[in-house]
């Protein structure tokens, strides 16, 4: 907890302490309503004008046995009065609704942190299921934490005893009681949640009433403790946030909307061909509900059919999109080569996950950069972009569409499971502020050749079936550089290979100058990152800069082609550290393309970087 | 969405591209291409709305020789590409051209799903029971014991019967023809074109280099009449040089048997009448193999059902009717928002 001086909150009550930011983690069994609790807490803090970032942490198992460690579901939120960029390294507060939730999460809790736990759930049986050999509440294993045991089930039943609900129904309100308690702890307004409950259960007012009663009971329980003076309470100030209309958005939502926006700006139908895979399926789910926006979604029989159907759609004049995760992208490789060869627009979204092979599907990693940039047979260049945060997914999606249709090329967008599922407040943009050129298909038969190119972009003409006079054949066999007819001519193949590379290289001409996100354009140290490590690197760099260290943060949205001014920028620093969640993939690219002697900061645990990890490494490097 | 311009009567030549044909001299593909070009002219279709899609193999060169739109894609994936094309523009008239390796080996999965979805395309399977382009290895339709560069001691795996596979996959139109039977082939192509939903057409095609004469047991002139059964809806299933041999259902075993009209008290009324909507009969006809039975040719099964793309478009129309598309800015502002 980042705290400032204590202030007197109310004359009759103990003082509430100001905290600049707080990390709260709710954890319980899959059936405990943890995600709902988390999202309500998120809405409430957002309305209180806190900046925030959240991360849901679901179990991989669909219905894991109750009470087991692998069935624990968690939701983490970092909120505060300053710019919040990550869901936080270490929770200040852990709400654990059963022993398994405590067992799984206690290691990540900050020393001195607060644990609110459901005391009655700590039965011998539940503790055994969670893998405790001794009761953690009775030995000193939790000694470094402050523990608030609350008999949540009993309090809930008591609060609802007049409601006429069955015990089972009443116990379903446990999560709201917990939420009420946490609201009290951080001085949060209960009204938005009450409004939401009334709306959600409009047709079942008794359920709404019960949940509201549980919420209020939790809050009242806190007030009782407060009067005892047993627990310290806090106030988190509003953040200095740009004015405007906000909403919460996950990366998957922002990405889906960005793709729809890009397609509509280009004046194209959007076609998504996809095959379910964790953590990429969410994009398919969201787009399948946007049919009224000329969105066609197709759940294909496999990854190959998914990308091929998208290529077919682009061939016919729609914007073909496919989405997957690393192992699925591997299957799409040959078809990507076809899209490169026939030069059709295509957007492939890769929600990266830990690998190789099946790896850890629900854990995050950035290890598909090589696959995206290099992973095809032959010289087969395409464009690669990476999103840095949930809200950034919208901008990156529009940019991907722009590049795909402007240059008639496949574009790979790299996100990851962390970005796709995490949420943050979003200053809702005006779609009209984004620039994608409206597409005009080629219709003029005069002098038409399928591989005639735009002189500036080198994009070939997009002539779609149904256009009279432009009938032509394309395919994966090497083509004559003008007619598109099959050609094995040696000079022609050299020319076509060169032009495919040059076309992709020219994409970089449209990039804005690369400037550090923070810090100077020259200096002793630059930390370079890409993708979802943005938040952690940014906060680490700002922390160090506050301590007077001259550290710069450089972030790359465009992975391929790289910005042309990258080398010049990096040469202005004594040390360049490339931080990424792999064994050094961007590092390889940076070193080979710029010849700068950069070094890697790498982590592949399936978990995001901690701010402290980045700081530690940079500080150590600066000291020697 | 596309304006169909009225065309002056096009000829077969108008459907022939300027590309030099690269099939081996004597290849059955020449006859199929010629039949296709003249059939398209007879159908009066427009070149701009016609798309040929292929995978990899000798047959996959087909689109290059048609003066229409053409997409030569990758091995086995033509059904998936064609599905994307059709969904993006249902007005296009799509022919998928494939071979036995492309359709039933590497692309078997996609063909299966194309058929069960019933996407409105014509799917032509040129079956020559061999891999041609890779120089003569046995294919999934090769008969057991086929000696090839990869099976010098003879192939071991049971061949798939393409038409049976199609019926098992839920195809609503299954037909067969032979490369050299110009008129029946053209008729089958026309029926396939008229059918809404996936039209599956198997064309027995002779590979003169690697599998010459593999279908001679029913295509040779001398045996054709006795070993070809040209089925026609509503007509008795009769064949033979005298036209007096027919198929009858054995009621005790539910099997087909060959009978001769006028012998053993068999009259024409005992012979089964072809009903192209009868899936069970189609399944039995598809499985008949020489030498014990004639090869069933023509439209074996045709029972139309709404095409996949039509249903997809209907859902989109339904979604639009229910909640008309608003400005995208409105979409982004739906749900819980707050002002700072």
Distance (Å) of CA B99 to CA A26, B22, B118, B141, B182: 57, 16, 20, 10, 19
Name the residue facing B88 among A305, A313, A335 (closest C-beta): A313
- What's the complex ipTM? 0.96
Closest to B236 (Cα-Cα) out of B246, B226, B250, B227: B246
Q: What is the pLDDT along chain B (340 residues), one digit of tens a residue?
A: 566 655 578 999 999 999 999 999 999 999 999 999 999 999 999 999 999 999 999 999 999 999 999 999 999 999 999 999 999 999 999 999 999 999 999 999 999 999 999 999 999 999 999 999 999 999 999 999 999 999 999 999 999 999 999 999 999 999 999 999 999 999 999 999 999 999 999 999 999 999 999 999 999 999 999 999 999 999 999 999 999 999 999 989 999 999 999 999 999 999 999 999 999 999 999 999 999 999 999 999 999 999 999 999 999 999 999 988 778 999 999 888 888 8
A375 lies within 8 A of chain B by CB: no
Who among B81, B109, B331 is closest to A312 (CB)? B81
Cα dihedral: A516, A519, A521, A527 (round 10): -60
Q: Is A430 on the interface with B (CB under 8 A)?
A: yes
> Which of A553-574 are b and which e, b meaning 16 or more Cβ less than 10 Å from the residue's Cβ?
bbbbbbbbbbbeebeebbeebe
Give the mutation candidate from B312, B332, B337, B339 for the A interface (greatest A CB count, under 10 A): B332
Q: pLDDT band at A607, cuts 50/70/90?
A: confident
Contact A292 B325 (CB under 8 A): yes
Inform me whether the pLDDT recorded for A227 exceeds 70: no
pTM, two decimals, is 0.94
pLDDT digits over A133-183, tens only?
999 988 888 999 999 999 999 999 999 998 888 998 899 999 999 999 999
Pairing of β B295-302 and β B228-231: parallel
Beta-carbon separation of B81 and A49 below 8 A: no
- Count of pairs with CB atoms under 8 A, one residue in A, one in B: 207
CB burial class (10 A; 0-12, 13-18, 19+) of residue B189?
A: buried
State how beta strands A295-299 and A270-274 pair. Answer: parallel
Look at the block and give the residue holding tokens 């990039």: A511
Name the CATH code of domain B6-214 (choices 3.40.50.970, 2.30.42.10, 3.30.420.40, 3.30.70.250): 3.40.50.970
Strand partners of residue A413: A349, A385
Of the listed ranges A36-50, A257-271, A446-460, A571-585, the least confidently predicted one is A36-50
- Mean pLDDT computed over every residue of chain A: 93
Q: Output the CA angle B17-B21-B22, nearest 5 degrees.
A: 145
pLDDT at A8: 43
Q: Does any CB of chain B come closer than 8 Å to the CB of residue A513?
A: no
Instruction: Map out the domains of chain B as residue ranges.
Output: 6-214
Report CA-CA distances (Å) from B318 to A267, A284, B321.
Answer: 22, 19, 5
Helix (H, G, I), strand (E, B) or coil at A180: helix
Q: Provide the strand spans (E) within chain B.
A: 50-54, 69-72, 93-99, 122-127, 173-178, 199-204, 228-231, 238-239, 245-250, 255-260, 295-302, 337-339
Mention every residue, 6+ apart, whose C-beta is less than 8 A from residue A116.
A93, A94, A95, A96, A148, A150, A178, A181, A182
Whether the predicted pLDDT of A513 surpasses 60: yes
Nearest-neighbour CA in chain A from B154: distance (Å): 32
Q: What is the torsion angle, in degrees rounded to the nearest 10, for the CA atoms of residue A477, residue A478, residue A484 and residue A486?
A: -70
* Strands, sheet with B245-250, edge to edge from the N-terminal-most edge strand: B238-239, B245-250, B255-260
Distances (CA, A) of B237 to B256, B258, B268: 11, 10, 10
A247 touches chain B (CB under 8 A): yes
A552-to-A521, A601, B117, B315 alpha-carbon distances in Å = 7, 15, 55, 52
**Does A310 lie at the interface with B, CB-CB under 8 angstroms?**
yes
């Amino acid at each position: 907890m980042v705290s400032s001086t204590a202030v007197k909150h109310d004359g009759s009550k103990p003082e509430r302490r100001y905290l600049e930011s707080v990390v709260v983690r709710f954890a319980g069994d899959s059936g405990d309503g943890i995600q709902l609790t988390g999202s309500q807490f998120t809405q409430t803090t957002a309305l209180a004008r806190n900046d925030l970032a959240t991360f849901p942490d679901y179990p991989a198992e669909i219905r894991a046995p109750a009470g087991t460690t692998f069935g624990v579901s968690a939701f983490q939120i970092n909120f505060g009065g300053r710019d919040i960029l990550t869901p936080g390294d270490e929770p200040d507060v852990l709400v654990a609704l059963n022993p398994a939730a405590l067992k799984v999460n206690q290691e990540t809790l900050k020393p001195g942190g607060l644990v609110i736990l459901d005391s009655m759930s700590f039965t011998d049986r539940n503790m055994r299921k969670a893998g405790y050999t001794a009761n953690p509440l009775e030995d000193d294993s939790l000694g470094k934490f402050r523990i608030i045991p609350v008999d949540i089930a009993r309090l809930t039943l008591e609060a609802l005893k007049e409601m006429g609900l069955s015990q089972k129904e009443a116990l379903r309100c446990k999560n709201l009681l917990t939420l009420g308690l946490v609201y009290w702890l951080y001085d949060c307004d209960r009204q938005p949640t009450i409004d939401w409950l009334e709306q959600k259960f409009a047709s079942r007012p008794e359920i709404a009433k019960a949940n509201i009663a549980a919420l209020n009971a939790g809050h009242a329980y806190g007030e009782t403790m407060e009067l005892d003076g047993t627990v310290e309470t806090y106030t988190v100030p509003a953040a200095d946030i740009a004015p405007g209309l906000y909403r919460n958005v996950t990366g998957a939502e922002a990405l889906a909307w960005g793709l729809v926006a890009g397609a509509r700006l280009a004046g194209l139908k959007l076609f998504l061909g996809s095959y379910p895979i964790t953590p990429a399926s969410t994009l398919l789910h969201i787009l399948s509900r946007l049919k009224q926006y000329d969105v066609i979604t197709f759940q294909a029989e496999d990854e190959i059919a998914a990308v091929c159907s998208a290529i077919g759609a682009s061939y016919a004049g729609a914007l073909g999109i496919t989405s997957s995760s690393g192992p699925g992208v591997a299957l799409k490789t040959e078809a990507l080569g076809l899209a490169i060869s026939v030069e059709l627009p295509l957007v492939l979204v890769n929600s990266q996950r830990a690998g190789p092979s099946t790896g850890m599907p629900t854990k995050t990693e950035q290890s598909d950069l090589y696959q995206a940039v290099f992973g095809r047979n032959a010289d087969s260049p395409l464009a690669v972009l990476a999103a840095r945060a949930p809200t950034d997914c919208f901008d990156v999606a529009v940019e991907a569409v722009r590049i795909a249709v402007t240059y008639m090329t496949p574009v790979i967008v790299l996100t990851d499971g962390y970005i796709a599922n995490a949420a943050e407040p979003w200053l809702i943009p005006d779609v009209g502020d984004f620039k994608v050129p409206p597409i005009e298909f080629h219709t003029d038969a005069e002098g038409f050749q399928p591989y005639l190119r735009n002189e500036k972009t080198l994009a070939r003409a997009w002539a779609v079936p149904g256009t009279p006079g432009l009938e032509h054949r394309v395919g994966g066999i090497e083509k004559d550089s003008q007619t598109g007819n099959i050609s094995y001519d040696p000079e022609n193949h050299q020319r076509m290979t060169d032009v495919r590379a040059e076309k992709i290289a020219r994409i970089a001409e449209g990039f804005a100058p690369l400037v550090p996100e923070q810090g100077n354009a020259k200096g002793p140290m630059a930390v370079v990152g890409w993708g979802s490590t943005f938040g952690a690197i940014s906060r680490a760099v700002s922390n160090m800069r506050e301590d007077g260290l001259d550290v710069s943060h450089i972030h790359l949205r465009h992975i391929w082609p790289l910005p042309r001014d990258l080398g010049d920028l990096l040469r202005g620093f004594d040390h360049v550290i490339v931080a990424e969640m792999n064994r050094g993939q961007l590092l390889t690219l940076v070193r080979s393309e710029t010849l700068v002697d950069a070094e890697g900061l790498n982590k592949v645990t399936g978990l995001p970087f901690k701010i402290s990890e980045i700081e530690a490494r940079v500080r150590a490097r600066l000291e020697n | 969405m596309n304006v169909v311009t009225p065309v002056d009567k096009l000829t077969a030549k108008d459907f022939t591209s300027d590309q030099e044909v690269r099939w081996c001299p004597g290849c059955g593909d020449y006859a199929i291409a010629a039949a296709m070009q003249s059939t398209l002219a007879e159908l009066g279709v427009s070149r701009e709305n016609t798309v040929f899609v292929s995978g990899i193999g000798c047959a996959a060169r087909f689109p290059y020789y048609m003066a229409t739109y053409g997409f030569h894609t990758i091995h086995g994936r033509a059904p998936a590409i064609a599905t994307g094309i059709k969904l993006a523009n249902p007005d296009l008239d799509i022919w998928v051209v494939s071979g036995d390796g492309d359709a039933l080996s590497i692309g078997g999965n996609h063909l299966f799903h194309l058929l069960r979805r019933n996407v409105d395309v014509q799917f032509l399977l040129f079956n020559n029971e061999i891999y041609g382009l890779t120089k003569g290895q046995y294919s999934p339709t090769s008969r057991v014991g086929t000696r090839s560069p990869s099976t010098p001691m003879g192939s071991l795996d049971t061949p798939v019967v393409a038409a049976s596979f199609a019926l098992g996959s839920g195809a609503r139109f299954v037909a067969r023809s032979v490369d050299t039977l110009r008129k029946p082939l053209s008729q089958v192509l026309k029926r396939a074109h008229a059918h809404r939903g996936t039209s599956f057409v198997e064309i027995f095609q002779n590979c003169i280099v690697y599998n010459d004469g593999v279908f001679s047991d029913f295509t040779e002139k001398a045996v054709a009449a006795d070993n070809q059964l040209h089925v026609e809806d509503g007509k008795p299933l009769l064949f033979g040089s005298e036209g007096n041999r027919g198929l009858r259902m054995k009621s005790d075993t539910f099997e087909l048997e060959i009978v001769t009209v006028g012998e053993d008290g068999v009259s024409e009324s005992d012979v089964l009448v072809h009903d192209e909507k009868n899936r069970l009969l189609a399944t039995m006809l598809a499985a008949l193999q020489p030498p014990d039975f004639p090869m069933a040719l023509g439209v074996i099964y045709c029972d139309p059902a709404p095409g996949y793309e039509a249903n997809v478009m209907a859902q989109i129309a339904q979604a639009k009717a229910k909640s008309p598309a608003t400005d995208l800015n409105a979409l982004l502002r739906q749900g819980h928002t707050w002002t700072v």
